[in-house]
Structure 1
């Protein structure tokens, strides 16, 4: 259930025009498509039917049922949609700027309520369709507050992610090379290229090699990869946070590398976005 104060609910309803039973200028079809594209959830599902089943009432039910993080994503998308219409001159924004800004703040607060920090960092670093579906399924498990059931998929994600890093930096490896060995090569490459500024960050990355090695045991003996008793909830969250925070840091490094290259040297077709 999205954690909203009475004033926040009133601000959101005013911004989205919900008092009329509508949600912005969406039709039933476009409303369903928009919510599904942003969240992966069908707003026409019976669990969201409420009173008159208007778009506004379905959204009210959605807010009551879904998590802070999920509704935060949706509210953020509504704000972006409103801003795009302003830029195209399709709506008169005068008098609504403050309400828009308040909704942006609310959405940012709600998105920070995920049980896993930097969960959005779990995204494929290539355009491989299966890799992207894997990342999406992992995030869906976190959104459902089920980190323990996604540990095997998170391990698969890390393997694919680190292998792609090695490919991107021309670091040779053999097919069955352990994931901790691959990550060790990548960390050594960063250090040799003087892309790490502090000794402490360097030590954290080096220690992460051992953590990734230990992840193999969790995947093989405490996840649904095999017929195992799965790891408990709190330790699963700890593992997810460690992995997502490490990947978030790697993203900043990779972005820094990309920006430092001559534009003519960058193969933009390989970017995963």
Structure 2
């Protein structure tokens, strides 16, 4: 449910809805537009529950029911349509009018993402291509297109895990699968005592199966080849699980590096 003030709701309604219409969209074009931006069917009966079922009422119900981020994405996408509609109909709107609308969608988008830990997708070395890859993945999530970046996420994991293996002096070959690299890495950090709880250990071990299954997704359900692409919801689920594990690994590595540095510092009081 989007967290909107009364004034923000008024800005949305006054900007986009007129007598049940949404700008100059027809029923079909509005349905297609919303689906393209959010992957949601605005014709779902829940958006007409308790109202007339007009496009305007469906939009307002959508704003009421969906998350901040999803509503923000749709409002941002509608911004150009709003300007064009006002220009075509000679409706003079000053900068304050548009800025109020912009403020709403920027606040909503700034408050979240479809993937909670997408910020974890960062290169862990100085390779320029690796940094570009990570940037492209994050941009796909910002555009609400997780299914378009599954193959890139798989490539990211390969590079990320190889770098981790190198840092722990773990031998690996050029063509090892993501689950093989993950298995080698997890084996070493378990031996080093990086994982403290039994539950975390079980989660990490189960993640090996997720990495194994990711190979099939990459090969048969992504743009890596001429494939039918995995659906949106499952793509979000995969991204969420993978990025959560990457975030955990990053935090764990940072913690133990800091401990190693602290232990290596001389105790000047003993001299």
Contact 1:67 1:143 in 2 (8 A): no
Counterpart for residue 201 of structure 1: 200
Contact 2:189 2:195 in 1 (8 A): yes
Is 1:68 matched up with 2:108? yes
Structure 2 Cα separation of the partners of residues 263 and 6 of structure 1 = 52
1:116-158 Cα deviation digits (max 9, x unpaired): 1211111111122221121111111111111111111111111
- Alpha-carbon distance change, 66 to 219 in structure 1, aligned in 2, over 3 angstroms: farther
Where do 1:1-273 residues align within 5 Å? 4-6=4-6, 47=80, 51-53=93-95, 59-64=99-104, 68-69=108-109, 72=110, 110-111=111-112, 114-262=113-261
- Alpha-carbon distance change, 6 to 265 in structure 1, aligned in 2, over 3 angstroms: farther
Cα-Cα RMSD? 2.9
Structure 2 Cα separation of the partners of residues 128 and 203 of structure 1 = 33
Structure 1 Cα separation of the partners of residues 128 and 264 of structure 2 = 25
Structure 2 Cα separation of the partners of residues 138 and 67 of structure 1 = 22
Structure 1: where are the runs of 5+ without partners?
Answer: 10-45, 73-109, 267-273
Contact 1:124 1:161 in 2 (8 A): yes
- Alpha-carbon distance change, 7 to 171 in structure 1, aligned in 2, over 3 angstroms: farther
Greater gyration radius: 2
1:199-251 Cα deviation digits (max 9, x unpaired): 12111111111111110110111011111110001110110110011111111
- Alpha-carbon distance change, 126 to 7 in structure 1, aligned in 2, over 3 angstroms: farther
How far apart are 1:52 and its partner, in Å? 4.1
How many pairs are equivalent? Answer: 188
Structure 1 Cα separation of the partners of residues 264 and 158 of structure 2 = 27
1:30-83 Cα deviation digits (max 9, x unpaired): xxxxxxxxxxxxxxxx94979445xx66654544555833xx2xxxxxxxxxxx
Counterpart for residue 47 of structure 2: none
3-state DSSP of counterpart to 2:170 = coil
3-state DSSP of counterpart to 1:253 = helix
Structure 2: where are the runs of 5+ without partners?
Answer: 10-78, 87-92, 266-271
Counterpart for residue 77 of structure 1: none
Contact 2:8 2:104 in 1 (8 A): no
How far apart are 1:170 and its partner, in Å? 1.2
3-state DSSP of counterpart to 1:152 = helix
3-state DSSP of counterpart to 2:200 = helix
Contact 1:180 1:210 in 2 (8 A): yes
